[in-house]
Chain A
Amino acid sequence: MKKTSIPSQTIVITGIGGHFGRAVARRLHRHHEIIGIDRRPVDDLPKDIDMEHIDIRRRSVEDIFRRRDIEAVIHLNVLHDPRARQEEHHDFNIVGTQKLVNLCDEHRVPKLVFLSSANVYGPDPTNDQFLEEDAPLMGGQNFGAIRDLIALDMFCNTFFWQYPELETVILRPVHIVGRVNNAPSRFLRLDRPITILGFDPMVQLIHVEDVVSAIERSLIPGVRGVYNIAGPSPVPLSVLIERLDRNPLPLPEPIARGVLEAGWSLRLSNWPVPELDHIKYVCMVDDSRAREELGFEHAHSLDAILDEVEAMPLL
């Protein structure tokens, strides 16, 4: 990757307690001063990180912005728990982000980086093979639990004209796989992952560290906009499963849906049924804009990504 020197900054990372938040913190704390915000208890963070255990909706968050001259906010604090109550989900995500952007505006923070996801486009049979940033965010048409993220993504999109001084960067990475506990990583950790009989879509994966690199590039002064982020070239789902030496369980779609629905309502599984579309249709992105404008390059091959899958147990 091209080395553009990023000046040392004071950066607030919200949602630092997650697996991904910690990965971002571990990379950035060497060059930047990091202040972490999370309402969850957080351990194994580097010692030089200021940690604030606080809900971002609380008034006292403002103290962090009063005390220090914040130069960038990396907003990772998006609750994505399909089992959580809708109101709580929505309030935490939307109101939290609203509060945060108001603080950025009042305290003249020059940069906000928001981590969205390529899932906002949604898997669909009529999708272009590689969706560009201006494609409609259709992920919510079948999958309710992602509507929050779409609303947030669109909300952050309004900052471009609402807060023109604030350099907003929205990143939409493809499935982040490795030392994180998200749905695609958990799926690939299953001994017998369910597949839909007769479907084998192309999928894009990306290594955690490559997404961190994209965030790092977003901190370059002057960078703003929406960027799709993808890793190595796409492969069929069956190839991923084969390379992990898993034993897939192909089910006809109605049966797969029935099994998942029963599992979901009996609380035996936490897989939302509409997520099946991800192993049925394509939802891939064209990341050429990030590669041209951010100078983003992925450093980890497919093998490196799949090696990381094994690094964490299935929780």
Chain B
Amino acid sequence: MAEDEPLTDIKDRIDQTLVDTLDPEVWERIRTMDAGQNELGYDPFGFQPEFLKYIAPAAKLLHRRYFRTEVHGVERIPDSGRVLLAANHTGQVPIDGVLIGASCLFDRDEPRMPRSMVERWVPTIPFVSYILARCGQVVGTRENCRLLLRRGGAVLVFPEGVKGVNKTFDQAYQLQSFGLGFMRLALATDTPIVPIGVVGGEEQMPSIWNFESLATLLSMPSFPVTPTWPLLGPLGATPLPTKYHIHFGDPMTFSGEPDAEDRIVQSKVDRVREAIRELTKRGLHERRGVFF
């Protein structure tokens, strides 16, 4: 074991350097947040708040310096208890999820880690599989979502799904149709919904055209063509440093039969959709420009 010690030492020092980039008080609150972890620091889904030290510094840099997110009303998320966060989904690469997560960690007195649902093929990717799990991301099955809510978690959903991310620039900030699943779960588990409007994502990678046949060939959900991608190669795929504005709405509560007809659930979903539309509208109205 003796020869391992310098290595462990280096690892500890790197860890400490990462932690030092964070405000010690904020880090202490993140590290000790109650996410239902066991005595070894893991929750049943593999989330380990301690692990956030590897992600939080980068997320904070994106949040504060690169995208300079302006966050409004993040305290509207209750400090504890189950809650669904429903946001619009934009921007070809899902930076919005990262920034909503960063807002909930850095801009609240009581940090909460929103747990989002990832695609079912994510666990097949080496490293990504467990890194996302350690950061609290969960494979998107209905049962997993139900269990997270039952355990009092904050679950982040994008009811537009991948349709929202992939749309071309001419449809910027037009909400796509919403799935009904999140509402059925909210009704079944009696969970309040906090609507979130994200502004700034659409301009980070304005997609001119979706090269669908190539996407099918590469089995990707879409292949966006932007002014710089694929023209400038990988560099062209870097999101532009747009300024993000995130507006959190007041929690909405719904009651009713979770197994009701689509028509009835749809009317409730439309109320959430309307709330998100209002929040994005406010964000668009308040911002002075795309980059500042």
A302 to B38, CA, bound (A): 11
Q: A198-B130, A199-B130 are in contact. Are A239 and B143 (CB under 8 A)?
A: no
Q: Which B residues from 105 to 130 make CB contacts under 8 A with A?
A: 120-130
The answer to whether B40 has its CB under 8 Å from any CB of chain A is yes
| 8 Å CB contact of B123 from A130, A235, A281, A302 | A281
A residues within 8 A CB of B46? 200-202, 234, 236
Question: Are A125 and B38 CB-contacts (below 8 A) given A200-B130, A233-B44, A253-B126?
Answer: no
Which of B46, B120, B138, B144 lies at the interface centre, i.e. has the most chain A CB atoms within 10 A of its CB?
Answer: B46
A200: nearest chain-B partner, CB-CB: B130
Residues from chain B with Cβ under 8 Å of A253 in the complex: 126
Q: Can you list, as one digit per residue, whether each of B13-45 has a CB less than 8 Å from chain A (1) or not (0)? A: 000000000000000000000000010101011
Size class of the contact patch on chain B: 20 to 34
* Cβ of A214 to closest chain B Cβ, rounded Å: 20
Structural contact, B130 and A236, CB atoms closer than 8 A: yes
Minimum CB–CB distance for B121 against chain A, Å = 7
Taking a contact as CB atoms closer than 8 A, the residue among B44, B120, B126, B127 that contacts A130 in the complex is B44
* B255 interface hit (Cβ, 8 Å): no
Residue interface bits A219-252, CB-to-B below 8 A is 1, else 0: 0000000000000111110010000000000001
> Known: A197-B126, A198-B127, A199-B126. Contact between A125 and B42, CB under 8 A?
no
Q: Counting CB contacts under 8 A, is A5 at the interface?
A: no
Cα of A153 to Cα of B229 in the assembled complex, Å: 54
Query: Would you give the shortest CB distance from B117 to chain A, in whole angstroms?
Result: 12
Known pairs A198-B126, A253-B126; A126 contacts B141 (CB<8 A): yes
Q: Could you mark each residue 205-216 of chain B with 1 if its beta carbon is under 8 Å from any beta carbon of chain A, else 0?
A: 000000000000
In this assembly, does B55 line the interface, its C-beta being within 8 Å of a C-beta of chain A? no
- A197 contact set on B, CB distance < 8 A: 126
Partner of A129, one of B38, B45, B127: B45
Q: Kindly state the separation between the CA atoms of A232 and B129 in the bound complex, as whole angstroms.
A: 23
In the complex, what residues of A have CB within 8 A of residue B122's CB?
125
Is there an interface contact between A125 and B127, defined as CB atoms closer than 8 Å?
Answer: no
Chain A residues within an 8 Å CB radius of B139: 125-127, 129
| B147 interface residue (CB < 8 Å to A) | yes
Least distance between A204 CB and chain B CB atoms (Å): 9
Taking CB atoms, residues of chain A closer than 8 Å to B45 are: 129, 202
Contacts of B144 in A (CB 8 A): 128-129
**B48's closest neighbor in chain A, by CB?**
A236
Assess whether B120 is in contact with A202, with CB atoms less than 8 Å apart. Answer: no
Q: Are A125 and B44 in contact (CB under 8 A)?
A: no
Minimum CB–CB distance from B228 to chain A (whole Å) comes to 30
Q: Bound state CA distance, A127 and B40, in angstroms?
A: 24
A196–B129 Cα gap in the complex (Å)? 12
A125 vs B125: C-alpha distance when bound (angstroms)? 10
User: By CB atoms of chain A within 10 A, which of B38, B123, B128 has the most?
Assistant: B123
Please report the C-alpha to C-alpha distance between residue A218 and residue B138 in the assembled complex, in whole angstroms: 34
- B130 contacts which chain A residues (CB < 8 A)? 198-201, 236
A-chain residues with CB within 8 Å of residue B121 when the two chains form the complex: 125
Task: Tell me the smallest distance from the CB of B5 to a CB of chain A, in Å.
Answer: 14
What mask results when residues 255 to 285 of chain A are scored 1 for a CB within 8 Å of chain B, else 0? Answer: 0000000000000000000000000011000
Q: Are B123 and A234 in contact (CB under 8 A)?
A: no
**Are A126 and B120 in contact, with the CB atoms below 8 A?**
yes
Q: How far is the CA of A239 from the CA of B130 in the complex (A)?
A: 13
Q: How far is the CA of A202 from the CA of B139 in the complex (A)?
A: 13
Task: Convert A164-180 into 0s and 1s, putting 1 for each residue whose CB lies closer than 8 angstroms to a CB of B.
Answer: 00000000000000000
User: What is the CA–CA distance of A236 and B47 in the complex, to the nearest angstrom?
Assistant: 10
Instruction: Check A125 against B123 for contact (C-beta < 8 Å).
Output: yes
Contact at A235–B38, with CB atoms within 8 Å? yes
Query: Whole-angstrom distance between the alpha carbons of A282 and B144 in the complex?
Result: 13
A125-B120, A129-B144, A129-B147 known; A239-B40 Cβ under 8 A: yes
**B42 pairs with A234, CB closer than 8 A:** yes
CA–CA, A282 to B122, complex, Å? 13
Q: Which residues of A contact B143 (CB under 8 A)?
A: 128-130, 132
Q: Chain B's nearest CB lies how many Å from the CB of A19?
A: 28
> How many Å from the CB of A282 to the closest CB on chain B?
8
Are A129 and B126 interface neighbours, CB within 8 A? no
In whole angstroms, how far apart are the Cα atoms of A200 and B40 in the complex?
15
How many Å from the CB of A130 to the closest CB on chain B? Answer: 7
User: Bound state CA distance, A129 and B45, in angstroms?
Assistant: 7
Question: Which residues on B sit within 8 Å (CB–CB) of A281?
Answer: 123
Chain A residue at minimum C-beta to C-beta distance from B4: A247
Tell me, rounded to whole Å, the shortest Cβ–Cβ distance linking A278 to chain B: 13
Question: When the two chains form their complex, are residues A233 and B123 in contact, meaning their CB atoms are under 8 A apart?
Answer: no
Q: Who on chain B is nearest to A204 by CB?
A: B44
**Min CB distance, A239 to chain B, in Å?**
6
CB proximity of A230 to chain B, nearest CB, Å: 11
A128 near B141 with CB under 8 A, answer yes
B141→A239 contact, CB < 8 A: no
Q: Is the CB of A239 within 8 A of B120?
A: no
Residues in B whose Cβ lies below 8 Å from that of A198: 125-130
- The answer on a CB contact under 8 Å between B138 and A129 is yes
Q: Which residues of B contact A127 (CB under 8 A)?
A: 139, 141
Can you sample 15 A-B contacts with CB below 8 Å? A125-B123, A128-B143, A129-B44, A129-B143, A198-B128, A198-B130, A200-B129, A234-B42, A234-B44, A234-B46, A235-B40, A235-B42, A236-B42, A239-B42, A253-B126
Q: Would you list the 5 A-B pairs with minimal beta carbon distance, nearest first?
A: A198-B126, A125-B123, A198-B127, A200-B130, A128-B143
Q: A125-B121, A129-B144 are in contact. List 11 more A-B contacts (CB 8 A).
A: A125-B124, A126-B141, A129-B44, A129-B45, A129-B138, A129-B141, A197-B126, A201-B46, A232-B38, A233-B38, A252-B126
